[in-house]
Structure 1
Amino acid sequence: MCLGIPGRIVTVDDTEPRSGTVDFDGLRRPVCLVYTPEAEVGDHVIVHVGFAIALVDEEEAARTLAVLRAMPDAIETELGP
């Protein structure tokens, strides 16, 4: 199963293609930000296979993370090592 996982952008790198680091409930991963050019540090995004695909507000991100926390290892499994 593939999920879009919400996370908070903690860094935006000065690279091409545009990328940054996203925090997924304490788990940080590099993410491509090409599809969300308006996203900045502190914004919440939905990430699918390493690409931020949409901005979401903090409330929606929190609701989605609460559901994912209820599924054992959902976040770690989806994001990988």
Structure 2
Amino acid sequence: MCLALPARVIERRPPDAALVDLGGVRKEISLALVPEARVGDHVIVHVGHAIGLLDPEEAERTLALFGELAQQQGGVRTEAGA
């Protein structure tokens, strides 16, 4: 099974990288597949690569669902689920 997570781009880094926020966790990823992504955009991240742009409302809904699941699985909370 594959899992891709929504993340918000918080900083572009040359040549094709970015720092993203994944529910409070910051990670450097590749933007080679989504070079049009800009700071503030939401992207779908899979194994360290942005694989597409995501509507901000859809990103928030998805993060909220992950937050609910985490609460049900042991009380771990994400920013969206806080």
Give the TM-score normalised by the residue count of structure 1.
Answer: 0.81
How many residues were matched structurally? 72
SS at match of 1:70: helix
Among all aligned residue pairs of Structure 1 and Structure 2, give the percentage whose two residues are the same amino acid. Answer: 47
Deviation above 4 Å: which 4+ runs of structure 1?
A: none
RMSD: 1.5
2:45 pairs with 1:43: no
Q: Which residue of 2 aligns with 1:78?
A: none
Deviation of 1:25 after TM superposition, in Å, equals 1.4
> Aligned letter for 1:14?
P
Structure showing greater relative contact order (alpha-carbon pairs closer than 8 Å, 6 or more residues apart): 1
The answer for unaligned runs of 5 or more in structure 2 is 71-75
The answer for unaligned runs of 5 or more in structure 1 is 76-81
Q: Return the alpha-carbon distance in structure 2 between the equivalents of residues 2 and 65 of structure 1.
A: 17
Q: Which residue of 1 aligns with 2:4?
A: 4
Q: Return the alpha-carbon distance in structure 2 between the equivalents of residues 24 and 14 of structure 1.
A: 20
From the CA coordinates, give the structure whose radius of gyration is larger.
2
The residue correspondences of 1:1-81 to structure 2 (distance < 5 A) are 1-15=1-15, 18-72=16-70
Residue deviations 1:39-62, cap 9 Å, x none? Answer: 011000000011000101110000
SS at match of 2:62: helix
